[in-house]
């Protein structure tokens, strides 16, 4: 056994409270090196009466390692533990003291999880596990009130630029709620809606006023109520990393420099505020001079922004905040933010915009979730652009699964594209079959899926501003076959807990090939998802013990003959089969 590859740290994602009575423990071993892993647990103050042995489950693998996990319910909320590895005739033990071939005497030297404190655990709102989000860029979704259009508004459906307007607004969203209900989504995420200077509104000038081109504060409250009546949750975008150029405190610093009472609200490196060789003398988002970065360590700034966070939760019974450029804001601010938000609404869902590994924010004291761009990249690299074989894809997804505790994986904000990326169908080269494979994966994988507005009717668009084009409302120009496909997959996910919270496991992943079989499984249902991400027809088969499977979408029986299910898939096709347990 390769000891050098074995790793466990008695903290964060390796040893964590899953809920009020369960601790989950993980250990890493070299891939395909070890046949079985067991964990020996007990209470250090009463070992004999509490000692237990649990087999560990190999829940994920990446290119180099296997990852094993087990859920343990300690008798008295405390556990000490040791790992036992078995391969062939060899048995190896590991404690905090190191490796041994003999069973180490408990509990001295064992790993220790001192006490399970629910207050310290990451507890995302349970509704997020059932949510299917729909992301709306309000300027481009629907124009419900021409009366509030910007002066230089262009005809709906024109080419988006960085600065033009098409007149979309909140009334437009209210008018289209029946459409969203028909699609089946049950949560919406709106990019910023507060008063700002741009079409994207990521440069706020007034955090407590809805942008006049979008409507009024009363209309936002009406939108919230109308959504809630249809069982649709609402998440708004909190742009707290930076403000807009016209934000009054920033204007005050521009004018009065160091004498401004707001001079410490920003990260000013040098007064007066100006731009030298393209670089502002104050910190900004990127190097955009019109997006000055807040000094969130300043208690006045904290108070101001936390008040905004609380205000909208109470004002419109907001269900969640998405946090813009969340990784560039200090952790202390987000810790305070979580307290304020959860006190105002314990069920609020907090999603950070972080494009990289986000474990630092997902330990229970900051976010519930993050935008899972790494997921989008792997899924589209595999399905849309065919950049890897299925084994590599499975390894990359495995590597994502082991980044976070289970409860974070259950509500991680999975997307294929957004207002900041090319649209999924465009990355698929317009090939609907590839888009469908990507969507099947998104909607049969764990996490909280999000659909970017218009993807469901075949909208295309390259990187922004092109991806931010107007929604197509002429039914004859919508891809209704694609809409029906989205609707069917959404319904399937909503009707089956196994697809949301069930165990996930790759069963086959072709090497030098792009065929895939994976399962989702809970106490009630077992799903097998077959995929052919190649240009040739493929026949796949898998050994199964029972003959009670059916197609999850058509409900036609799918036979098992001589112990095998055989599935023939056309190029870029999929099949979802299931059985009730
Ligand atoms: Ca309008």
Distance in Å, CA 168 to ligand 1 centroid: 5
Ligand 1 centroid, distance to 166 Cα (angstroms): 8
Respond yes or no on whether the N-terminal peptide bond of residue 8 is cis (omega within 30° of 0): no
DSSP 268-332: BSSSSP-EETTEESB-BSBT-TTSBBB-TTSHHHHHHHHHHHHHHHHHHT--EEEETTGGGS-HH
Q: What's the whole-number mean pLDDT along residues 443-451?
A: 98
C-alpha 466 to ligand 1 mean position (Å): 20
For residue 117, with 0-12 CB atoms within 10 Å meaning exposed, 13-18 middle and 19 or more buried, which class applies? exposed
Please state whether beta strands 90-95 and 79-87 pair in parallel, antiparallel, or not at all (unpaired): antiparallel
Domain with CATH 3.20.20.80 in the chain: 138-241+316-495
pLDDT value at 130 more than 90: yes
- 138-241+316-495, what's its fold? TIM Barrel (3.20.20)
**In the chain, which segments carry CATH 2.60.40.1180?**
501-580
N- to C-terminal Cα separation, the chain = 37
Q: What is the pLDDT of residue 295?
A: 98
Distance 209 CA to ligand 1 centre (A): 16
Q: What's the CA-to-centroid distance between 173 and ligand 1, angstroms? A: 11
Of the candidates 49, 103, 117, 39, which has an alpha carbon nearest to the alpha carbon of residue 71?
Answer: 39
Instruction: State in Å: Cα 153 to ligand 1 middle.
Output: 9
How far is residue 261's CA from residue 536's CA, in Å, rounded to a whole number?
Answer: 68
User: How many CB atoms sit inside 10 A of residue 229's CB?
Assistant: 9
Ligand 1 center–CA 206 separation, angstroms: 19
β-pair partners for 67: 28, 60
Q: How far is the CA of 413 from the centre of ligand 1 (A)?
A: 29
Phi-psi label, residue 318: left if phi above 0, alpha if psi -120 to 50, beta otherwise: beta
- Residue 482: band (very low, low, confident or very high) from pLDDT cuts 50, 70, 90: very high
- Going from the Cα of 123 to the center of ligand 1, the distance in angstroms, rounded, reads 39
Buried b (16+ CB within 10 A) or exposed e, 4-22: eebebeeeebbbbbbbeee
Distance 199 CA to ligand 1 centre (A): 12
SS3 87: strand
Which residues partner with 550 through β-bridges?
557, 578
What are the tokens at 90?
Answer: 């060899």
**Would you state the pLDDT for residue 511?**
84
Ligand 1 center to residue 69 CA distance, Å? 52
| Alpha carbon distance 389, 391 (integer Å) | 6
Going by the DSSP 8-state scheme, the letter that residue 32 receives in this structure is: T
Q: Ligand 1: distance of its center to the CA of 42 in Å?
A: 64
Average pLDDT, stretch 70-79? Answer: 96
Collect residues with CB below 5 Å from ion ligand 1. Answer: 143, 145, 148-149, 167, 169
Q: Where in the chain is the domain with CATH 2.60.40.10?
A: 3-120
Per-residue pLDDT tens for 340-382? 999 999 999 999 999 999 999 999 999 999 999 999 999 999 9
Look at residue 512 in the predicted model and tell me its pLDDT. 82
Tokens of 260: 């401004």
d(CA 454, CA 473): 9
Q: How far is the CA of 459 from the centre of ligand 1 (A)?
A: 21
- For 360-376, b/e burial (b = at least 16 CB within 10 A) is ebbbbebbbbbbbbbbb
Rounded to the nearest whole angstrom, what is the distance from the C-alpha of residue 221 to the centroid of ligand 1? 17
- Distance, in Å, from the CA atom of 468 to the CA atom of 60, rounded to the nearest integer, reads 36
Residue with tokens 């860029």, as numbered in its chain = 137
Of the chain, the percentage scoring pLDDT greater than 90 comes to 99
pLDDT, tens digit, for every residue of 155-169? 999 999 999 999 999
Measured distance CA(198)–CA(492) in Å, rounded:
39
pLDDT at residue 117 greater than cutoff 90: yes
| Separation of CA 320 and ligand 1 centre (Å) | 25
Decide: 24 and 69 in contact? Cβ < 8 Å.
yes
In angstroms, the Cα distances linking 340 to 57, 208, 214, 306, 346 are 38, 17, 27, 7, 10
Task: Report residue 510's pLDDT band, with 50, 70 and 90 as the boundaries.
Answer: confident
**Residue 127: in which H helix or E strand, if any?**
none
Give the dihedral sign, CA 384/388/391/397.
Answer: negative
User: How far, in Å, from the CA of 174 to the mean position of ligand 1?
Assistant: 12
Give Dmax over CA atoms of the chain in angstroms: 84
Neighbours of 295 (CB within 10 A): 19
Q: Which residues are catalytic?
A: 324, 353
* pLDDT confidence of residue 251: 98
Is there a contact between 49 and 80 (Cβ–Cβ < 8 Å)?
Answer: no
Q: What does the alpha-carbon distance between residue 354 and residue 143 come to, in Å, rounded to a whole number?
A: 31
SS3 183: helix
Q: How far is the CA of 172 from the centre of ligand 1 (A)?
A: 8
Mean per-residue pLDDT over the chain, rounded = 97
Question: Could you tell me the two tokens for 414?
Answer: 């999975």
CA 54, CA 397: separation in Å to the nearest integer? 26
pLDDT digits (tens, 9 = 90+) for 309-336: 999 999 999 999 999 999 999 999 999 9
Top CATH class of 501-580 equals mainly beta
Q: Please report which confidence band the pLDDT of residue 94 belongs to, taking 50, 70 and 90 as the band edges.
A: very high
Top CATH class, 3-120:
mainly beta
Please report which confidence band the pLDDT of residue 424 belongs to, taking 50, 70 and 90 as the band edges. very high
Band (pLDDT 50/70/90 cuts) for residue 138 is very high
Ligand 1 centroid to 483 CA: how many Å? 26
- Whether the ω angle into residue 107 lies within 30 degrees of 0, i.e. cis, is yes
CA of 472 to the centre of ligand 1 (A): 16
Does residue 483 contact residue 180 with C-beta atoms inside 8 Å? Answer: no
Percent of the chain with pLDDT over 70: 100
């Amino acid at each position: 056994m390769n000891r050098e590859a074995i790793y466990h740290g008695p903290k964060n994602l390796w040893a964590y409270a899953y809920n009020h009575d369960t601790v989950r423990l993980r250990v890493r071993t070299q891939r395909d090196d070890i046949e079985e892993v067991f964990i020996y647990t007990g209470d250090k103050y009463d070992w004999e009466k509490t000692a237990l042995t649990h087999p560990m489950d190999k829940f994920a693998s990446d290119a180099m390692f296997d990852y094993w996990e087990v859920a343990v319910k300690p008798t008295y909320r405390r556990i000490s533990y040791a790992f036992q590895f078995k391969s062939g005739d060899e048995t190896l033990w590991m404690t905090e003291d190191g490796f041994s071939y003999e069973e180490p005497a408990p509990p001295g030297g064992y790993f220790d999880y001192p006490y399970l404190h629910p207050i310290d655990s990451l507890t995302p709102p349970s509704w997020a596990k059932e949510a299917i989000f729909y992301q709306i860029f309000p300027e481009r979704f629907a124009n419900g009130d021409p009366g509030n259009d910007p002066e230089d508004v262009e005809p709906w459906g024109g080419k988006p630029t960085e600065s033009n307007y098409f007149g979309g607004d909140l009334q437009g969203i209210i008018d289209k709620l029946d459409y969203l209900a028909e699609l089946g989504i049950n949560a919406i995420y709106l990019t910023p809606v507060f008063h700002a200077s741009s079409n994207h509104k990521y440069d706020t000038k007034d955090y407590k006023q809805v942008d006049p081109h979008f409507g009024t504060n009363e209309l936002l409250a009406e939108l919230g109520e109308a959504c809630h009546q249809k069982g649709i949750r609402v998440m708004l975008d909190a742009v707290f990393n930076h403000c807009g150029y016209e934000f009054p405190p920033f204007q005050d610093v521009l004018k009065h420099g160091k004498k401004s009472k707001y001079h410490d609200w920003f990260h000013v490196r040098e007064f007066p505020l100006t731009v030298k060789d393209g670089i502002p003398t104050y910190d900004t988002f990127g190097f955009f001079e019109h997006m000055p970065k807040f000094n969130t360590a300043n208690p006045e700034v904290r108070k101001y922004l936390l008040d905004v966070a609380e205000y909208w939760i109470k004002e419109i019974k907001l269900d969640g905040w998405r946090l813009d450029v969340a990784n560039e804001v200090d952790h202390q601010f987000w810790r305070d933010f979580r307290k304020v938000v959860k006190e105002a609404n314990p069920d609020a869902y907090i999603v950070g915009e972080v494009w990289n590994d986000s474990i630092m924010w997902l330990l229970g004291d900051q976010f519930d979730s993050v935008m899972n761009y790494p997921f989008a990249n792997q899924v589209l690299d595999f399905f849309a652009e065919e950049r890897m074989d299925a084994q590599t894809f499975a390894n990359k997804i495995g590597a994502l699964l082991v980044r976070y505790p289970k409860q974070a994986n259950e509500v991680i904000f999975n997307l294929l594209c957004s207002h900041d990326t090319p649209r999924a169908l465009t990355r698929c080269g317009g090939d609907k079959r590839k888009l469908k494979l990507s969507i099947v994966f998104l909607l049969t994988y764990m996490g909280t899926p999000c659909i970017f507005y218009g993807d469901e009717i075949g909208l295309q668009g390259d990187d922004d501003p092109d991806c931010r084009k107007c929604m197509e409302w002429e039914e004859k120009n919508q891809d209704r076959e694609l809409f029906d496909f989205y609707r069917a997959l959404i319904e399937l996910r909503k009707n089956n807990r196994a697809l949301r919270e069930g165990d996930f496991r790759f069963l086959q992943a072709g090497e030098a090939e792009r065929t895939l079989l994976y399962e989702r499984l809970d106490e009630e249902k077992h799903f097998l998802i077959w995929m052919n991400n190649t240009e040739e027809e493929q026949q796949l088969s898998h050994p199964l013990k029972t003959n009670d499977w059916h197609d999850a979408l058509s409900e036609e029986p799918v036979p098992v003959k001589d112990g095998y299910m055989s599935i023939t898939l056309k190029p870029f096709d999929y099949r979802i089969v299931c059985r009730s347990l």
